[in-house]
Amino acid sequence: MSEVLIGIDLGGTNVKTAVVSRAGEVLGKDCRPTRASEGPDVVIDMMVESAEAALSQASVAQSNVLAAGIGAPGPMNWQTGVVFSPPNLPGWKDMPLADTMAKRLGVPCFVDNDANVACFGEFWLGAGRDVDSMVLLTLGTGVGGGIIVMGKLLRGPDGTAAEVGHLCVRRNGRRCNCGARGCLETYASVTGMVRTAVDGIQAGHQTALLERCGGDLEKITGRMISEAAQAGDGFAAWVIGETGVWLGAAIGSLINLLNPEKVVLAGGMIAAGEMLFSPARATAKRQSFEVPGSRASVEAATLGGDAGVIGAAGCALERLGLI
């Protein structure tokens, strides 16, 4: 049996695990509730049980495990593996997650930020598998992401690098949860797109969205906008296009800054397809230098919900110096 890695994606709702071979073959998977409200000890138990279940599904013995990688939310010290106090994991305070899991699993454990881990997953086995430099933007409630330059994840000394969602795209723009104004995620996340729709409707634009939300603007969702656009609603299509333009402006800056070969977009919003990608690509091209702008392609992620577990396993391999 070949040597394998365990990749764990620790979320506030679910713990997901994959057993991945060194060659990048996913051999077994598990997903179970995090039980975050029951405190850190229960969550650690869930992670251990999930790892054991994934190993058993893969028919791999514990002795074949090289290391485990964990993608965790919130601020942390990626070098020591201490997780500070993630907002969606109540009761966690300066938890030595890497050391705790290393004792429980009996193998070296490494902890990384969940967004960076997802980026590494797409880089290792997904949309970025054929390139050395890429940027990932995950479009969800916020905008997360990661950066790989010449095969290395850009973490930064404090692990806070690659906060692409908080690139300023507009001076004095919308207020962001981070406290600043005009951050990319206030325009290009699902939440930002919904805000663009609500602002437009309040300014008097006519749209079938009003009917879809039953007149209650707070009920508008990203999916609703996408469905209305696909059904031919001009305003909804404009909202998605506008979101793509905000995204493209940031991508243009990222291209000038980092010279990536690919900019990969992930998250539910990419289902909007060309309505989103086409304005994003056109704006990125306009906003970047010719050489890096022509090199960088803007593409959809390919791993979906598996990017985290695969990336966590990949990050462990990277930390061992084997990738």
What is residue 176's DSSP assignment? P
Distance of closest approach, residue 178 Cβ to Zn ion, in angstroms? 3
DSSP for 274-306 reads HHHHHHHHHHHHHTS-HHHHHH-EEEE-SSGGG
Distance of closest approach, residue 120 Cβ to Zn ion, in angstroms? 23
Nearer to Zn ion, 135 or 176 (CB): 176
Distance of closest approach, residue 192 Cβ to Zn ion, in angstroms? 11
Nearer to Zn ion, 34 or 138 (CB): 138
Q: What binding mask, one character per residue, do residues 97-136 give for Zn ion by CB under 5 A, x or -?
A: ----------------------------------------
As given in the structure block, the two tokens for residue 262 are 């690919």
Should residue 271 be labelled a site residue for Zn ion when binding is judged by CB under 5 A?
A: no
Nearer to Zn ion, 184 or 316 (CB): 184
Nearer to Zn ion, 195 or 295 (CB): 195
CA atoms of 118 and 315, how far apart (whole Å): 10
Residue 99 contacts by C-beta under 8 Å, 6 or more apart in sequence?
Answer: 81, 109
| Residues 166-195 close enough to bind Zn ion by CB under 5 A | 166, 176, 178, 180, 183
Q: Are 264 and 301 in contact (CB under 8 A)?
A: yes
Nearer to Zn ion, 29 or 166 (CB): 166
| Residues 151-170 close enough to bind Zn ion by CB under 5 A | 166
Distance of closest approach, residue 176 Cβ to Zn ion, in angstroms? 3
Per DSSP bridges, beta strands 4-10 and 65-72 are parallel
CA atoms of 12 and 73, how far apart (whole Å): 8
As given in the structure block, the two tokens for residue 152 are 């290395």
Nearer to Zn ion, 166 or 281 (CB): 166
CA atoms of 304 and 151, how far apart (whole Å): 21
Burial class (CB in 10 A: 0-12, 13-18, 19+), 110: buried
CA atoms of 129 and 126, how far apart (whole Å): 5
Nearer to Zn ion, 183 or 316 (CB): 183
Nearer to Zn ion, 10 or 167 (CB): 167
**Other Cβ atoms closer than 10 A to 217:** 15
Of 267, 219, 218, 261, residue with least CA distance to 243: 267
**Residues interacting with Zn ion, by CB under 5 A?**
166, 176, 178, 180, 183
